[in-house]
Chain A
Amino acid sequence: MIAYLLRRALWTLSVLWVVFTLSFLLMNAVPGRPFGGDRGMDPEIEKIFRARYHLDEPIYVRYGYLLTDYLRGDFGISKTLRDFSINEIIAQGLPVSATLGLLALLFALTFGIIAGIASAVRRGGLVDHSLMAVATVGIALPEFVVAGLAIIMFVFILPWFPSAGWGSLRHLVLPVVCLGLPYAAYIARLTRSGMLDVLSQDYIRTARAKGLAPSTILTRHALKGSLLPVLSYIGPATAGILTGSLVEEKIFAIPGLGIHLVESVFQRDLTLAMALTMLYTVILCLMNFIVDVLYKVVDPRIKLDA
């Protein structure tokens, strides 16, 4: 297990290194002056940037400097947000975005799994048909449509929630639900088909032949196996929620990192864009790492040295 964790950690680090290198090269390949904007840069700022990012040195030296900075956890400075270091921007925005993202993931898992199990157990019934209809719609609709409908419904028609902002529980509800909904829907379908697949297995018949109660069979013999596909989906779901949060943060005016990432791209704030890209990559890699390890804990058939 230790050896496996080490190997997996090494792999994750190499992925991060590749992403870092590619981002660095892309950043340098952007047309125009290095770190320059459309209208050029304030000479004052440009001087600071020249010094901070060693812009007079050849590219491989700059690469070395930047890599060292990142390894030390110093993400440098931004040309658009001059009052803060990028580290300060992240320190402000990350808790907000992480709260939004994690709650959305939690919402998606909880509702998706419960709905999926209910559908599978009542297969072919009214519960199944209505839940799966909702799920199909939930998967098909783009985030901004869901968010738009939700705002019309629960802000204007039924004034239950504020339309935008951050700070209270009531602010959280709509963005979390809108962000998590497509993933809840997909997880519901995954859970349902996983559960139906497991329930048709020979070993479920064995469990019934042993005289176990249906609830025991469901929880002890079927649940684990039926959630394996959901577990593998957590990686992609995290990636989706990360990008989805860019849209939701914009719609609901949430002071997270998403807005900074979008703005940094529009403003050609390359140092900020690169820092946030790396941050999102780290989060995604971390999630995949956790999922991989969990998968091996749940399914003993998977060899650790594979």
Chain B
Amino acid sequence: MHKPLLQVEDLRVEFHTDDGVVRAVDGVSFNVAAGETLGIAGESGSGKSVTNLAILGLLPRPPARIVGGRAMFDGRDLLTLSQPELRRIRGRRVAMIFQDPMTSLNPLLTVAEQLTEMTRLHLGHTPRQALDHAVTMLEKVGIPAAGRRVHDYPHQFSGGMRQRVMIAMALSCKPDLLIADEPTTALDVTIQAQILELIRDLQRDEGTAVVLITHDLGVMANLCRRVAVMYAGRIVEESSVDELYSRPHHPYTLGLLRSRPRLSGGDGRLRPIDGQPPDLSRLPSGCAFHPRCPFVVDRCRVERPALLPTPFEGRAACFVSKEVAAAAEVELD
């Protein structure tokens, strides 16, 4: 197996707020190989964004504090790099796109200004080269009349088109890794599929590795080979997509799968997970999921399960993962 492109080990991030210390990311580890697509799923508030913002040093400090871990990229720990060193990686080697394309582009600058400043900085383009490249990128992401539209402002584009602009911008320096943080959550359902398809096609053509963050497991199935599921700042399960969908080993994953709309099978009802995600500054004892877990046993209330390998090449953090997998197999079949 290749050496991973990005290797996150035991990442811990806290927020020091007036209400106390919020453990937003609590010992997260994952790898991304070159050219691979990793999915990160979980309800909102589970720490997906904070994990990835921490890796690129984009969290507001204070209140955020990275209290532990490493993020090895190309032999260097991103968490210990100086700001100037980090700036040579951001955008150039690791690019990011965000949830809301309405607010993620600067409303007072044209698309051309926002695209060209990046390649001029990282690739040393002349203004002419940068503009040509910007048009090429816009064409690549399917923006019609790109040569003309490049001079428009963000508000002159629809939501879906803006996200295409974001993608064009993110990929304009041919990064090794693209982190896409819920890139379709703010878009219409019909547009969502188009954007995901675009990311998949570009990923295939350019060989870019992708971390795709989403709270929707359905979105993952087509794009990722491996998926990590986060709950309350920890990865509770990680495995291949096929495995995860047919035989989840963590009750939270099973809950997410149940709550997903499906076209066929089952009784057609959506079954949301009972209860609310926990307050991260007052986590329950033991397994953070135990108050909502239908499989709960006494041990779950006092001891926190470690993320351990399952018999099927995945990892799960659950004392009763075998029972969960067995129940899931029957139910999801």
Contact = CB atoms under 8 A, between A and B. Distances in A.
B107 A206 contact: no
A300 B108 contact: yes
Interface stretch (B3-11, B87-95, B193-201, B269-277): B87-95
Interface in B94-129: 95-96, 98, 100, 103-109, 117-118, 121-122
B16 to A, nearest CB: 14
Which of B58, B107, B118, B166 gathers the greatest number of chain A CB atoms within 10 Å?
B107
Contacts of A150: none
B157 interface: no
B313 to A, nearest CB: 33
A213 interface: yes
Given A201-B103, A203-B104, A203-B106, A212 B153 contact: no
Interface in A204-235: 205-213, 216, 220-221, 224-225
Given A216-B117, A299-B107, 6 more contacts: A206-B98, A206-B106, A209-B58, A209-B91, A211-B88, A212-B91
Contacts of B89: 211
A208 B108 contact: no
B155 interface: yes
Contact of A224 (B95, B105, B108, B166): B108
A202 B104 contact: yes
Interface string B193-227: 00000000000000000000000000000000000
Contact of A206 (B104, B121, B122): B104
21 contacts: A201-B103, A202-B98, A202-B104, A203-B103, A206-B96, A206-B98, A208-B58, A209-B56, A209-B95, A210-B91, A210-B95, A211-B88, A211-B89, A211-B92, A213-B87, A221-B109, A225-B108, A298-B108, A299-B108, A301-B107, A301-B155
B161 interface: no
A119 to B, nearest CB: 18
B169 A210 contact: yes
Contacts of B95: 209-210
B100 A202 contact: yes
Contacts of B92: 211
A220 B109 CA distance: 9
Contacts of B121: 210-212
Interface string B11-44: 0000000000000000000000000000000000
Interface in B155-174: 155, 166, 169
A203 B122 contact: no
B108 A212 contact: no
A221 B155 contact: no
B191 to A, nearest CB: 19
Nearest to B122: A211
Contact of B106 (A209, A211, A213, A221): A221
Contacts of A298: 108
Interface of B: 56, 58, 87-92, 95-96, 98, 100, 103-109, 117-118, 121-122, 153, 155, 166, 169
A300 to B, nearest CB: 4
Contacts of B117: 210, 212, 216, 220
Contacts of B166: 206
Nearest to A199: B60
Contacts of A220: 109, 117
Contacts of A206: 96, 98, 104-106, 166
A267 to B, nearest CB: 51
A186 to B, nearest CB: 23
Contact of B118 (A210, A213, A224): A210
Nearest to A208: B58
A156 B153 CA distance: 57
A205 B108 contact: no
Contacts of B109: 220-221
Contacts of B103: 201-203
B153 A300 contact: yes
Nearest to A203: B106
B151 to A, nearest CB: 11
A226 to B, nearest CB: 10
A208 B96 CA distance: 10
Interface string A141-156: 0000000000000000
B114 to A, nearest CB: 8
Nearest to A221: B106
Contacts of B155: 300-301
- In the complex, the 4 A-B pairs of residues with the closest C-beta atoms, listed nearest first: A211-B91, A211-B90, A202-B103, A210-B91
B7 to A, nearest CB: 20
Nearest to A300: B153
Contact of B90 (A201, A203, A209, A224): A209
Contacts of A207: 106
Contacts of B56: 209
A274 to B, nearest CB: 43
Nearest to B107: A301
A106 B212 CA distance: 50
A211 B120 CA distance: 12
Contacts of A299: 107-108
A141 B104 CA distance: 41
Which of A207, A216, A298, A299 gathers the greatest number of chain B CB atoms within 10 Å?
A207
A216 B91 CA distance: 15
